[in-house]
């Protein structure tokens, strides 16, 4: 009887006292080779909103994580390049579809990580969706625009055919962390390249969340690899890694630009570094152009005898 009374007393006590519940904060991991591993270094950092409240934890990628990502991208390169252009386009459409389904979650992340209204955050998400749709459409059309049939003297046909360069490192700027990331990785991806992307350093949550889009959108393992970390630590590795065949970046810092451009001297990388502040990421005339694909293509010339 005494035990029953004690239990009843405890129940009444709990009923009167309001118990505060601590939310379970999300820990975003890296997206490598189709999975979500933690960084091998065990490092992470917390992401705060504009009020100073902790909203999430993210893995801080190490140099080894980056090397592992390049290795995964190199392994996936051959199979991705062999897929038909139509199939690659359908996968990019699927990425757009999955991003559309998570539009509200991305909008919330962009809101608490920046001083922006819901309308402006949603505008960035919708523009990123449109960008994936655009380059999904270009996947089976850019060869007709960038390739050609060359006039030659003699009974031959001569064709210039674009082919993917290989593993492309994408470096996203801090502004428009989702839209800029998508704008930089979609062009090389639709051409058959594989991608290792380092997201925004100051607003990395959108990059980590984009891994969930890739994981549910039929992208083969290793084709897209997403890292969150510090540029000062990782850019020299991108520059010096001989498995990286090209760099597509948008940065504001002159020293970061110089670091990346020196990659040309290491293994003749294809390097395209944009001034992040000068790009209008919302302008379709600028960012939907097939000439965003062209820097990450190799032009192969084919001779074929003519029947005449």
> pLDDT for 20-38, tens place per residue?
777 778 889 999 999 999 9
Element (H, E) at 211: helix 205-215
Placement of tokens 């091998």 in the chain: 40
The pLDDT tens digits of the residues spanning 154-209 come to 888 888 889 999 999 999 999 899 999 999 999 999 999 999 999 999 889 999 99
Q: Can you give the C-alpha Rg of the chain in angstroms?
A: 23
How many Å apart are CA 111 and CA 118, to the nearest integer? 6
CATH homologous superfamily for the domain 27-305 = Aldehyde Dehydrogenase; Chain A, domain 1 (3.40.605.10)
Mean of pLDDT over the chain:
89
Contact between 260 and 284 (Cβ < 8 Å) = no
Where do the structural domains in the chain lie, given as residue ranges? 27-305
DSSP label of 119: H
C-alpha torsion 48→51→52→58, nearest 10: -10
pLDDT of residue 213 exceeding 90, the answer is: yes
| Assigned token pair, 161 | 């055919």
């Amino acid at each position: 009887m005494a035990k029953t009374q004690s239990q009843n007393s405890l129940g009444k006590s709990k009923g009167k006292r309001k118990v505060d519940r601590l939310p379970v904060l999300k820990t975003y991991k890296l997206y490598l080779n189709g999975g979500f591993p933690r960084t091998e270094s065990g490092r992470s950092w917390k992401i705060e909103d504009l009020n100073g409240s902790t909203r999430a934890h993210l893995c801080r990628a190490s140099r080894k994580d980056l090397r592992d990502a390049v290795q995964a991208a190199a392994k996936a390169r051959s199979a991705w390049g062999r897929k038909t252009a139509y199939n690659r386009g359908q996968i990019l459409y699927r990425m757009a579809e999955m991003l559309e389904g998570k539009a509200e979650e991305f909008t919330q992340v962009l809101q608490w990580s920046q001083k922006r209204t819901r309308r402006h955050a949603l505008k960035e998400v919708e523009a990123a969706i449109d960008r994936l749709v655009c380059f999904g459409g270009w996947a089976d059309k850019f060869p007709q625009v960038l390739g050609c049939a060359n006039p030659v003297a003699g009974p031959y046909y001569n064709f210039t055919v674009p082919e993917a360069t290989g593993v492309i490192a994408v470096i996203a700027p801090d502004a428009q962390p989702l839209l800029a990331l998508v704008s930089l990785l979609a062009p090389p991806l639709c051409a058959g390249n594989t991608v290792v992307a380092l997201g925004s350093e100051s607003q990395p949550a959108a990059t980590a969340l984009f891994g969930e889009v890739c994981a549910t959108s039929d992208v083969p393992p290793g084709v897209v690899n997403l890292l969150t970390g510090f540029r000062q630590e990782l850019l020299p590795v991108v520059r010096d890694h001989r498995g990286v065949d090209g760099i597509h970046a948008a940065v504001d810092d002159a020293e970061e630009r110089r670091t990346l451009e020196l990659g040309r001297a290491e293994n003749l990388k294809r390097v395209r570094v944009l001034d992040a502040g000068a790009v209008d990421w919302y302008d379709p005339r600028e960012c939907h152009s097939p000439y965003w694909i062209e820097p990450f293509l190799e032009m192969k010339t084919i001779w074929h005898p003519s029947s005449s």
